[in-house]
Amino acid sequence: MTAAYVALEGGHVIEGRGRASGTARGELVFTTAYSGYEESLTDPSYEEQVLTFSYPLIGNYGVREERFESDRIHPRAVLARELTEDVSEWLESEGVPALDHLDTREVVTDIRDGGAMKCGIAVGEDVTPEDALEELEACKGMSEHTEIGEQVSVDDAVVHGEDNDGETVALVDCGAKGSIVSSLLERDATVHVLPHDSTVAEVEAIDPDILFISNGPGDPANFEQAIALVEAFVEDTPVAGICLGQQVVARALGGSTAKMDFGHRGVNQPVLDLESGRVVMTTQNHGYTVAEPGEHLEVSQINVNDDTPEGLDGIEYDILTRQYHPEANPGPEDTFDFFDDVLAMGERPPQAVPADD
């Protein structure tokens, strides 16, 4: 059996069975999703993290490329109770270390009790616990990556749906899932996928009906140019955002964000709409949240479990954001209408800004 070790902050080392060789370091997080492992593994929001699957069997319906959310696996390493051969071979082919035959219940409990933590991974024929501990020490010495957007964003602008007759959307790619683009294309939008550091002039050249900030990994404070774009366009152009996009919009309008203890990652997060009283089940993957929305935004939806903001609406501007993933993939289809509401903002004149008294 191939040796495999996970070293956690505090010095605890867990032994498992190696399924894909290599060493890795990163932030250890978990997802409660019981399906959608292909979508999760290719979600750019997991960049620089080590992903633990709490569901015991991962890979029981194979690996199909049409389910991928991007062109590669993003977690630095993968932990599971049991991985099938299909998934193990996929991880090995992309150089992503993986191990199973460990008690993922214990790992999840450690994260819930102590918060998301740094870890070191070592998998291979001759590795030792000390190899994993060395990776952990190297991880502790790393500052949070402020240029993470470069790892997950497109290098150059890409246009989808040029022949469509609907709204023109400037999608700022901070790590966008492919299903966000698909959801907009299905509604006849033309989607310009732009690098995360696009300039105001580059967006102005598109003359979009809607500025849309995507999901993505890490701290929203690191996406300074996306924040600047919201500041520049919010008075004249409707603005939408998903996940990290909601946090970016809040920061651009005077709000604040905060790191959560262990975040929301799964496909069964309950969200309450404050106006209708309706509760929907949602797909989520984030470690930061909006702490204060600021004076230009109001909270329209909250998480039933911890009351964190799940939806923000503009008070005097056309703004619509969601902390969860309305496109699901994987997950429930309760919130697909978000995209209809976003595109509807582009069909009406922008809200007038009230004049000062």
- Asked if residue 330 has a cis previous peptide bond (ω within 30° of 0), the answer is yes
**Would you mind telling me the total number of residues written for the chain in this entry?**
357
Residue labelled with tokens 């199909």: 64
User: Pick the catalytic residue: 139, 243, 264, 286?
Assistant: 243
CA pair distance 112, 106, nearest whole angstrom: 10
Q: Is 39 a catalytic residue?
A: no
218: DSSP letter: S
Q: Are strands 3-8 and 13-20 parallel, antiparallel or unpaired?
A: antiparallel
Residue labelled with tokens 């024929």: 125
Q: What is the largest CA-CA distance in the chain?
A: 75
- Helices in the chain by DSSP H: which ranges? 37-41, 85-93, 104-114, 129-140, 149-152, 178-185, 200-206, 224-233, 244-252, 337-345
45 is in an annotated binding site: yes
CA pair distance 331, 34, nearest whole angstrom: 9
255 is in an annotated binding site: no
CA pair distance 105, 14, nearest whole angstrom: 12
288 is in an annotated binding site: yes
3 exposure class (CB count in 10 Å sphere: 0-12, 13-18, 19+): buried
User: Pick the catalytic residue: 47, 48, 167, 327?
Assistant: 327
CB 156 within 8 A of CB 138: no
CA pair distance 220, 225, nearest whole angstrom: 11
CB 48 within 8 A of CB 148: yes
143 is in an annotated binding site: no
10 is in an annotated binding site: no
Q: Is 243 a catalytic residue?
A: yes
Q: Is 325 a catalytic residue?
A: yes
Residues comprising the binding site? 45, 216, 218, 244, 247, 285, 287-288
Residues comprising the binding site for L-glutamine? 45, 216, 218, 244, 247, 285, 287-288
List, by residue number, the catalytic residues: 243, 325, 327
